Structure 1
Amino acid sequence: MNAAFFQQSRPPAVAGMFYPDNAHELARWVERFVEEGRPGRASDPKAIIAPHAGYIYSGPVAGSAFRPWAGAGGRIERVVLIGPSHHVWFEGIALPQAGEFVTPLGRVPVDREAVERIVDLPQVRLFDAAHAAEHCLEVELPFLQVLLGRFAIVPLVVGEASDAQVAEVLDRLWGGPETRIVVSSDLSHYHPYELARRLDRATAGAIEAGRAEVLTPQHACGFRAIRGLLRTLGARELGVETVDLRNSGDTAGPRDRVVGYGAFQFAPRPPGTS
């Protein structure tokens, strides 16, 4: 790593657009989304999949995804944030040189020790351009800040990378109960409402069944990260639950061209259910 690594701050790119740029208002929005979120069976999931659109569209579903981590401050010390690149094409998985990410709610440090575990992997690269305008990780941070307080992140933007390459990174970062994983992804894009519902139900079924190979860009923009996460589950006794499945036509938009959102939680299976 060069001398500039960890010396910079990554400022918010979509504050005031995707979510409020006023700290008090932002916190109130997040609190409301979490309070109104749909409860799942898991009380403390190891990993979640959460959407990343503007909060008026996907915030209610994100609230369902993050809901079990309310009050987990102090127990969760590190969050691996991984999602797709929307603006820049590149090969591999990108780390920023920034030592912290900034939102209206404050600063979140990048976990140096965790980064050291993966920087030697050939698929991992330092590439600030992948992070500069990217919203998929940024919009998850206020939820974590409100729920956890103090924590560190490993921010990863996925370009052209295989399931195995993503899984290898996640395996190295897996850790224990102090470490959690957030995969940032929306589901289907710009279909009529009923078609989107059918497509997203099929995607949810594939995720619950662990059928990583069937997921494509048509199912989810973060399909590479989702496939990588599913690949890591083979030797781990984690079950998957679809907690919430809606689209922009349900929340704040018209129904002729909608974007799908899902909240998925990955948690240890109850005894006898394997």
Structure 2
Amino acid sequence: MTRTAIVAGQFYESDKESLIQQIEECFMHQKGPGLPDKNNNKSKKIIGAICPHAGYLFSGPCQAHSYKAIAGSTQSELYLFIGLSHAGFNSSISQEDWETPLGIIKNHKEFGNQLSKNTNIPIDEVPHMNEHSIEVQIPFLQFIHKYNKHNQRDLKFSALIISHDRDYKEVSKAIAETIKQSNKKICIIASSDFTHYGVNYGYLPFTENKKENLHKLDNSAIAHILNIDPYGFLEYANEKKATICGKLAIATLLETCKLLGANKTELLSYYSSGDLTNDYDNSVGYASIIVEK
């Protein structure tokens, strides 16, 4: 079975050529990183990344920073996406291949089966069917894939939704174990936006100096991420009641990367939708962060 794209034409363009152009524009945007370099020496060893998942018109330029870095790193054999369920479903693993306007990406079913066994998280397609947090990452990965001239492998992925029905530390331990058992080079990508501020999101911790306070709120959370401190990050997010939708995905990525020997992080991009629209009454923060070993 193949999961078809459900937010093509909404979050990103629905036909191949228009989508390629849109992604290129994200890279070339004033807030983007520029197109990937095909001749990069690939010296970085990126084992994790945090990327936003809003519409490409808003978060795409930020998202592009992580994917340019991934394109310039040592090649991974498998990409593990960790998303969330905006609809409130429990944790689940998808075993289907996924289709976007850029083609079909193959699911690494053997890895997914072992991940399900080790985490005790069920294989269940229903939570993934109408969820966009992982889907919007796939076209960026497909796009940069063509820039890796050394890559002769089929592009493969695994998709995990993490929810409050699981302890992120236990899940992280099981993910790290599965990665070690697989003996593969794997990059983990956590999908999350940062603070959702405004009446539309039911979150109004301040009413003045909105831009400055929104950035301060997010940057304090990001500081914990850069220190590879999942516990401190969640403590801060919970204390502030921060509307960071994928906070469990972020915490799981950080804990897993720590177990895998991560020793370096880098904030590549941060801005809010208000920085693009100049409307901070309702604004969402976006960040691209990489984790290296």
Q: What TM-score do the two structures reach when normalised by structure 2?
A: 0.80
CA 234–70 in structure 1, closer or farther in 2 if over 3 Å, else same: closer
Greater Cα shift, 167-176 or 131-140: 167-176
Match of 1:206 among 215, 224, 231: 224
* Match in the other structure for 2:291: 266
Question: How many residues are matched?
Answer: 255
Match of 2:163 among 140, 159, 174: 159
Q: Does 1:185 align with 2:203?
A: no
User: Which amino acid in 1 is paired with 2:78?
Assistant: R
* Match in the other structure for 2:68: 67
Q: Secondary structure at the match of 2:117?
A: coil
CA 134–128 in structure 1, closer or farther in 2 if over 3 Å, else same: same
User: Which amino acid in 2 is paired with 1:183?
Assistant: A
Structure with greater strand percent = 1
Q: Does 1:172 align with 2:177?
A: yes
Q: Secondary structure at the match of 2:284?
A: strand
Greater Cα shift, 115-124 or 43-52: 115-124
Whether the 8 Å CA contact 1:46–1:177 is kept in 2: the answer is no
User: Which amino acid in 2 is paired with 1:238?
Assistant: N
* Match in the other structure for 2:214: 196
Q: Does 1:29 align with 2:22?
A: yes
CA 20–135 in structure 1, closer or farther in 2 if over 3 Å, else same: same
Match of 1:243 among 265, 268, 284: 268
* Match in the other structure for 1:50: 51
Whether the 8 Å CA contact 1:76–1:151 is kept in 2: the answer is no
> What pairs up with 1:2-151 in 2 under 5 angstroms?
8-36=1-29, 37-38=32-33, 43-70=44-71, 75-90=75-90, 93-98=91-96, 100-121=97-118, 123-149=120-146, 150-151=154-155
* Match in the other structure for 2:206: none
Paired with 2:187 and 2:119, the residues of 1 have a C-alpha distance of 23
Overall identity of the aligned pairs, in %: 27
Unpaired segments ≥5 residues, structure 2? 35-42, 147-153, 199-209
Greater Cα shift, 242-251 or 52-61: 242-251
Paired with 1:223 and 1:153, the residues of 2 have a C-alpha distance of 21
User: Which amino acid in 1 is paired with 2:280?
Assistant: R
Q: Secondary structure at the match of 1:126?
A: coil
Stretches (4+) displaced over 6 A: none
| CA-to-aligned-CA distance 1:7-54 (integer Å, 9 cap, x gap) | x11110100000000111111221232345348xx8442210000001
User: Which amino acid in 2 is paired with 1:23?
Assistant: K
* Match in the other structure for 1:5: none
Residue 128 of structure 1 and its aligned partner are, at CA, apart by 1.8
Structure with greater helix percent = 2
Whether the 8 Å CA contact 2:26–2:61 is kept in 1: the answer is yes
Whether the 8 Å CA contact 1:188–1:200 is kept in 2: the answer is yes
RMSD: 2.2
Whether the 8 Å CA contact 2:118–2:178 is kept in 1: the answer is no
* Match in the other structure for 1:4: none
Whether the 8 Å CA contact 2:119–2:175 is kept in 1: the answer is no
